[in-house]
Amino acid sequence: MEYLPNGCLRDYLQKNQHRLEHRSLLLYAWQICKGMEYLGAQRCVHRDLATRNILVESETHVKIGDFGLAKLLPQDKEYYVVQEPGQSPVFWYAPESLADNVFSRASDIWSFGVLLYELFTYSNKSRSPSEEFLRMMGTEKAVQIICHLLELLKDNRRLPAPAGCPVEVRPPPSKAWWGSQGSPAPVTPPSLSPGLCADAELLGFLPRHQTHLQRAGTQN
């Protein structure tokens, strides 16, 4: 088993926020995106994509880890229905996963959007996805979290766009994971996008920045 002394991306972001520029965050996002594209091509659904499950090999290289919840899609279906009980990272889940335990490449794309939010908040504990959604729910709704979370998502309530987040990283309004500052997102995220890295459908910065990101990724 490979040992990566820098630990997980969540802790790495928290410890190194003062020196990590957006260029580095964009590089990590691109590498994770490419990793998820590969997993999708193998018909593998990760189901737990979050900064805590991304491992840092070096300052310019991260890797997807923790496949404990991963599932291979059946050959005759493009989704998987989870039937075994157990705890789940619900605040990273797509609505169909919360409502019906259905997981697919599309639900991994949703989780990738939540991961982008984590990246550009430097995994700040007070602004974590769970803390943000719990604030939206209010303390009186701290029980039956899944039901209340589904209500929020159906009402087009989303995580706020991180302060200072590059415009290129924010998806178009018609494909928003996050809401604009102080307002809910207008529609559902890009759950139907056919590929995680297809011509900047998810990462609008790739056409302009892909060359220098690739070059930076080889310097390890």
What's the mean per-residue pLDDT of the chain? Answer: 75
What's residue 15's pLDDT? 96
Summarised one tens digit per residue, pLDDT across range 202-220 is 444 443 444 444 443 333 3
Confidence (pLDDT) at 79:
63
Catalytic residue of the set 48, 66, 76, 100: 48
Average the pLDDT over each of 61-65, 92-96, 129-133, 159-163 and give the range with the smallest value.
159-163
User: Which regions of 91-183 does DSSP assign to beta strands (E)?
Assistant: 102-104, 159-160, 178-179
Interval 136-166: pLDDT, tens: 888 665 568 888 899 998 888 888 888 888 7
In the chain, what percentage of residues exceed pLDDT 90? 25
Phi, psi of 200, rounded to the nearest 5 degrees: 65, 25
Answer yes or no: 66 catalytic: no
Report the C-alpha gap between 46 and 138 in whole angstroms.
30
pLDDT in the model for residue 212: 43
pLDDT of 40 > 70? The answer is yes
pLDDT at residue number 67: 76
Domains of the chain, start order = 7-70+88-124 (1.10.510.10)
DSSP character for 175? G
Task: Give the separation between CA 192 and CA 163, rounded to whole angstroms.
Answer: 27
Summarize the confidence of residues 177-194 as an average pLDDT: 40
Question: Which pLDDT score, from 0 to 100, does residue 209 have?
Answer: 44
Mean local confidence (pLDDT), 110-125: 93
How far is Cα 166 from Cα 31, in angstroms, rounded to an integer? 17
User: Model's pTM, two decimal places?
Assistant: 0.75
